[in-house]
Amino acid sequence: MSPFDAALPSTEDLFSVIEAIHDNVAIVDHNGVMRWVSSCFERNYGISRDRVIGRTTYELEAEKVFSPSVAALVLKTRRVVTLTEATRSGQYNIVTGVPIYDDDGDVSFVVSYSVDMRYSRRLHEEYQKISALVSPNAPQTSGGLPFSGTMRAIAATIEKLAKVNTTVLITGESGVGKNVVARLVHHLSDRTNGPLVEINCAGIPAPLLESELFGYEAGAFTGASHKGKEGRIALADKGTLFLDEIGELPLRLQSKLLQVIQEKQIVKLGGVKPVSIDFRLVAATNQDLEALVEKKRFRSDLFFRLNVLPLWIPPLRERREEIVPLCLSILGEMNAKYGTEKVFSDEVKRHLAAYSWPGNIRELRNVIERLVIVSSGGVIKADELPEHMFRHQENQESPIGKSLPDALETLERRMILEAYKACGTTTGVAKALGISQPTAARKIAKYKNEASGER
C-alpha cells in the first residue's frame, strides 16, 4: 500500500465530509432508487430521509418534491446533466447529476448535488436583463419578469454558468432564443466590458468562413485586401466569441477551431506567426451534435471541448404557462413600436396558449407583430389569427377511427406545414425532415392548396 492509499479516508469519513458541505447531496442507484441523502437535503427539500431513502426519484418527481429529476435524466442520457429544478416549497436549485460507471461501462449510481438559489440577491437584476434582451421595450410589472418559473429557473442557471470562464454549449430548437442566452452569458460574465463577437456558421459560405474566422495576411489569396484582415476570433480578444449553428462548421475548420481553443493562439491565412488570444467561446446549435459525431460529421474531440457547460433551452410547447405572459410582453413592445394600444381578446389568448409554436419565440414575435399591424380594431380577435393556428387544432385530433393511410397523411400534413412555417424554405423543410427538396416542394404545394379552402 502506498502512502497515498493509506491516507485515503474511509467510507464513513467521506460521508462525514459530505455532511459538512452546505449543499444538497443525493445518491441514486441504477434503478432510480434513492440510497442516501445529506442532512441539507432534508432541510432544503422539506422532507425527512425516512420518506426519501428507498423510494424512486421518479416517485418523488411525480410528487413535486423536486422537478425535473436530474438523476432520471442522467440515467436516460448516461452523461453529466446540469439544470435548474423547482421544489414544492417554491424555491429553485441549480443541480448537477454525475453518473458513476461500473467496470462494464454501465451507470451504477448517480451522485447529485445542488445549490439553493433563494438567497441570491442579484437574481432579480439578472431577470430584468433577460427581459430587456428578450423584449427591450416591454413594460415591466413590479414583480420583474412577465415570465413563470421555468424561465426564472433558466436565468439562475445562466447566472451560474456565466461566472465560470469556460466553454458553454447552448442547445435547443430553432427560435428558442439561443442567441439571447449567449448574450446574457457574456453580459453577466467577467468579460462584459470586452467585445462580444457573433458569427453564424451557416450564414457564411464555406469558402469564406475560414477567412472570416481566422483573418488573412495581405495578398494571402486572389482578391484579398492589400491591407489584410483581422478574423472574428481575433476581434473577440478579452471578450466572448459566439458561434451560432456550430453544427454547420465544416470538418476542416473544426480541426482549426479545436487547435485555437487548445493553444489559445491563432495564425492568419497566409501567415506563419501565431498570435496569442484570450477569449471565451459560447456555441449554439439546434442539432444533435452527438448524433453528428456518430455520423463522422462532427469531431468528437471538439464536441467534448464544447460540451463543458451544456445548457438546453426548452421549446415553448414545453413551458406553456409562459406563452400568454410572453405574448403580452411582446404585444407591449409592438404597441410601443407602432404607436398603438391593442389588446388580445380572451379567445385569442386561448388560441395562443394552445398552439404548439414550432418556430418558438421567433415565430411568436412574427405572429404578434403581424397582428398588431393588420388587426382592424383595438381588440385583436380570433378571426384575425393566421389560419394555420386553427388547422393546428384540427391536426391534434385523435387518429382513432381513421384508416392508417389517412392518419399518416394527417401526420405528414402537420409535419410539412409546421416545418415550412418554422424554416420558410423548401430547402429548409427538406433538411429538417430528411427528404429531398423536390419532394418537400411538392408536398408543401399540395398541403397549402388543400388548406386554402379550409376553415
| pLDDT, position 57 | 93
Q: Is the pLDDT of residue 230 over 90?
A: no
Q: Each residue of 9-44: pLDDT tens digit? A: 555 656 555 555 556 788 999 999 999 888 777 777
233 shares its domain with 361: no
Is there a single domain that holds both residue 99 and residue 44?
Answer: yes
Is 80 exceeded by the pLDDT of residue 315? yes
418-442, pLDDT tens digit by residue?
A: 788 777 788 888 888 888 888 888 8
Residue 144 pLDDT more than 50? Answer: no
Question: Does one domain contain both 155 and 217?
Answer: yes
Query: How high is the pLDDT of residue 124?
Result: 46
Task: Please indicate, yes or no, whether residues 237 and 300 belong to a single structural domain of this protein.
Answer: yes
Q: Is the pLDDT of residue 236 over 50?
A: yes
- Residue 318 maps to a domain: no
To the nearest whole number, what is the mean pLDDT of the chain? 81
Q: Does pTM surpass 0.85? A: no
Q: Are residues 290 and 160 in the same domain?
A: yes
Residue 12's pLDDT is: 60
Whole-number Å distance between alpha carbons of 328 and 345? 11
Mark which of 312, 338, 370 sits at the end of a domain: 312
Question: pLDDT tens digits, residue range 354-372?
Answer: 888 989 989 999 999 999 9
For range 369-380, the mean pLDDT: 92
Residue type, 142: S
Residue that wins the pLDDT comparison between 199 and 127: 199
CATH number of the domain where residue 335 is located: 1.10.8.60
Q: Which of 395, 419, 443 is the last residue of a domain?
A: 395
Domain count across the chain: 4
Tell me, yes or no, whether 289 and 378 share the same domain: no
In terms of domains, do 286 and 200 share one? yes
Mean pLDDT in residue range 381-403: 67
How high is the pLDDT of residue 141? Answer: 32
Task: Check whether 273 has a pLDDT greater than 80.
Answer: yes
Backbone angles phi, psi at 390, to 5 degrees: -75, -40
Q: Which of 42-46, 97-101, 112-116 has the highest mean pLDDT?
A: 97-101
Q: Is residue 2 part of a domain?
A: no
296 and 419 share a domain?
no
Q: Quick one: cell of 231?
A: 478574423
Orientation angle between helical segments 123-134 and 149-162, nearest 10 degrees: 110
Higher pLDDT, 277 or 131: 277
Does 160 share its domain with 278? yes
Residue 311 vs residue 129, higher pLDDT: 311
Residue 25 in any domain: the answer is yes
- Closest Cα partner for 58 from 83, 75, 78, 79? 75
Interval 378-407 mean pLDDT: 70
Is the pLDDT reported for residue 161 higher than 70? yes
Per-residue pLDDT, 125: 47
Where is average pLDDT lowest: 55-69, 102-116, 392-406?
Answer: 392-406
Residue 320 forms part of a structural domain? no
pLDDT surpasses 90 at 249 = yes
CA–CA gap between residue 258 and residue 291 (Å, rounded): 19
The confidence band for 240, taking pLDDT boundaries of 50, 70 and 90, is very high
Helices (H), 289-345: 289-294, 300-306, 323-338
- Residues 378 and 423 placed together within one structural domain of the fold: no
| pLDDT one-digit tens code per residue, 317-342 | 888 888 888 888 889 888 888 998 89
Residue 293 and residue 201 share a domain: yes
Residue 390: give the domain boundaries. Answer: 326-395
Using the predicted structure, report yes or no on whether residue 119 has a pLDDT greater than 60: no
Domain for residue 180, yes or no? yes
Domain boundary among 349, 374, 395: 395
* Residue-wise DSSP of 80-106: -EEEEEEETTS-EEEEEEEEEE-TTS-
Instruction: Output the CA–CA distances (angstroms, integers) from residue 352 to 121, 327, 364, 386, in the order listed.
Output: 34, 8, 9, 11
Decide which of 276 and 20 is more confident: 276
Residue 435 falls within a domain, yes or no? Answer: yes
Closest to 88 measured CA to CA, from 160, 149, 28, 158: 149
First and final CA of the chain: distance in angstroms? Answer: 80
- Is 110 domain-assigned? yes
Please give the distance of CA 313 from its chain centroid, rounded to a whole number: 3
Clarify whether residues 207 and 270 are in a common domain: yes
Question: In this predicted structure, what is the pLDDT of residue 123?
Answer: 46
CATH of the domain at 83: 3.30.450.20
Does some domain include residue 353? yes
CATH of the domain at 271: 3.40.50.300
pLDDT of 265 reads 93
CA dist., res. 6 & res. 1, Å (int): 7
